[in-house]
Amino acid sequence: MEILWMLIIGLIVGALAKFLTPGRDPGGFFITMILGIVGSMVAGFLGRTLGWYSDGETAGLIASILGAILVLSVYRLISSRRRY
């Protein structure tokens, strides 16, 4: 059940990150979900490293969205270089 919630939250966070980041995105439904999950993990890791969260705490929704925007931006840079 925890994996299902992680996928649902990842999808929501990924969709919000796509909505907040202007421009065309190379990716569909599954890429959105993966970027959201990875963004949440990046936000949690950075938060624990910087002392914002303690071990066992999850990243907040805003931090997860910011992490997903960061991951989406990096993904766009990598995928745009591959096309040319």
- Under DSSP, the state recorded for 16 is H
What average pLDDT does the structure give for the chain?
77
Distance, in Å, from the CA atom of 13 to the CA atom of 44, rounded to the nearest integer, reads 13
What pLDDT does 26 receive? 67
Amino acid, res. 50 = L
What pLDDT does 17 receive? 83
Confidence of residue 32 (pLDDT cuts 50, 70, 90): confident
